[in-house]
Structure 1
C-alpha cells in the first residue's frame, strides 16, 4: 500500500467488508458481531489505522458530563447519593463520572485534577479536602459541595438538628444520664459538626456525653471501639453512622454483651444494614438520595446560568425508634 493516511475504505478492503461496517465497528461495536469486529480490528492494526480520537467525536445524545467524587463508594450513604445524581443526569441528558478518594484529601485532589478537563462541573460529596483547596477547585469548574458547608461554594447539607433533638429526648425518656459517642474520621467536616450538635443537645438535658475518636466510618471502625467502651461503659451509645453501630454490636456480642439487654445504641443514616440487623437499629434518618438530587439540580442550574453561587440548601432529619434502644433493665421508651 502506498504511504499516506490509512482510511476506512482501506480497512474495509483488507477485512473484506463494507466501509459502513467498519464505521459501525468503531462507533457502535455492539451492532457488529464479535467475529466481524475481530476481523476489522485485526485489519486496522495491520494497516496502522486509527479511528477518530475520542475527544474529537461529538457527544451523542448528551449535553455534557459531570462528576461525583466520594470518599468511599462502598458506603451505602454515598452510593445512595451517586444513584440520585445518576437519576438526575439521565433526566437532564448528562453523563456521569464517579471517582473515589478512599478517605484521602490528596487522592481527592488528584482525582479532581484528572477529571476536571473532562467534565462541565462536579459534586464533591463529604469532601476531605480543606476549604481553601475546594475553593481553588471551584475556580476551574462549577462545584457543589454535598454533606459539607464550604464558604463561597454552593453547599447541600443535612440539617441534623431536629433528628438529634428527638434522639436526645429519647435518651432522656429512657433514663440514661451518660452517653458514649463513637465518632468518625478527623478529616470529615460532618464529624465535628455532628459531635457538637449531639453533645450540646445532651448537655441541655443534663446528660454527660463522652467522645471516642477518631474512627473509620465503617463496620470495622465501630468494631474497633468496643474495647475502649468497655473500659468505662455508659449503657447508652450513639454511633456516627449505622455502619459503625452495627460493627460495634458485633464486637460486643463477642464479649458476651448483647443489645438491648446490656446496652442501648443508636446510629445515623437509616441504612439498610440497620433495618435488618439484630436487633434492628434506632437511627436518625437522613436522606442522602434527596441530598444528591438537590446537589445535582443546583449544579445543572449553575451550568445553565440560572442560579447565583454561594447558596446553602438543607435536607431534614427525623428519629426512627427500633429495637436497639430501651430503658435500662426495662422496656423501650
Structure 2
C-alpha cells in the first residue's frame, strides 16, 4: 500500500506523509494487519482494530483517492447506509433524503449495516463504484475508516461528527436539559439511564451531556450499558434496574423505553405509578402506547434534508470538508412521567 497523506490543519506547515508502517509500529502490529483492518475489518479482532484506528487517528492516517474505483461518466445515483432500516428514526431520514434526491435529479440506493462496522464497510465497498456520493447515518465505523471512505467519493455523515468530513448532527443539549428540569420538578433526584450500543458515536456524546446536566442539578445518575437499541434491548435491563430502582428512567431511544415499560408491566410495575420514563427520537409507536411516551426529539426530516443538500453541493464541488450543520432537540411531554411516589415494591 502506498504512503498516506496527512491533511494539514490550521497553523500546521506543509503536509507530512504518514505511512502504513508508522501506523503498524504505533499499534504494535504488522503492516499487513493494518491493511486488513481497513480493507476487511471482519478479519481483524475488535481489540486489534480499535488499537489500529486509534493509532491512525493520532498520526493522521489519510488515504488518497482509491484509483481502482473509477469515476462514473453518467451521474445520477446517491447511496445511503443506515444501521437499521426498520427503525423509524432511520426510515424518516431515508425518506427526506429521497425527496431531495428526486428534486435534484438523482436516484437513491439504500443499504443496511445491521449495527455492524464490518457490514457497513462491505456495503460501502459494494456501492461506491456506482454512486456519485454516499451518506452514512449513525455510522458504526471508526473515524479513520470513514475518512478513508471519504477520499473515494463525496461523503456526508449524519448523527455523527468526523474531523474533515461534512456532517449533520443533533444538538442534544437543549432536549436533555429540558428532560432533567422536568424530572427534577416532579421530585426526582436519582436517575437510571439505559444506554445503547458501544459502537454508536451518539451514545458517548449523549452520555457526557446527560452526566453533566445531572451534575449541575445534583441528580445522581446510574448508567446501564451497552444495550441493543431495540425493544428487547430495553427489556433486558429490567432485572438490573429492580435491584436498585431510582424511580426515574431515561432510555437511549424510544424502542428501548417501550421494551423496558412492557417488561416492567409483566412483573407488576405500572408507569407512571411506579416509575417514570423518557425516551429519545419521538417514534410513532411512542405516541400510540399506553401510557404515551415522553420523548426527547429532533427533526429526522431536517437531518435528512440537510445531509442530502450538503452531499449534492459536495458532488458539485461547492462544499468544504469542514461543513457542519446542527439540528435542535426538544422535550415532548406525554403521559409516561408522574410525580415521585413512595412505592412499597
Distance 1:200 1:125 in 2: 26
Quote how far apart the aligned CAs of 1:165 are: 0.8
* Aligned 1:172-321 pairs, distance under 5 A: 172-321=184-333
Distance 2:332 2:305 in 1: 23
How many residues of Structure 1 are paired with residues of Structure 2 in the alignment?
A: 272
Give me the CA root mean square deviation: 1.5
Partner residue, 1:151:
163
Counterpart check, 1:130 vs 2:131: no
Distance 2:249 2:137 in 1: 27
Secondary structure at the counterpart of residue 129 of structure 2 = helix
TM-score (norm 2): 0.77
Distance 1:234 1:246 in 2: 18
Structure 1 segments, 4+ long, off by >4 Å, are: none
Quote how far apart the aligned CAs of 1:210 are: 0.4
Secondary structure at the counterpart of residue 117 of structure 1 = coil
Distance 2:87 2:210 in 1: 22
String of CA shifts for 1:132-153, please: whole Å, max 9, x gaps: 0000000100100000000110
Partner residue, 1:328:
340
Distance 2:297 2:201 in 1: 19
Partner residue, 2:119:
107
Secondary structure at the counterpart of residue 132 of structure 1 = helix
Distance 1:225 1:286 in 2: 25
* Aligned 1:9-158 pairs, distance under 5 A: 63-158=75-170
Quote how far apart the aligned CAs of 1:329 are: 2.9
* Aligned 1:155-170 pairs, distance under 5 A: 155-170=167-182
TM-score (norm 1): 0.80
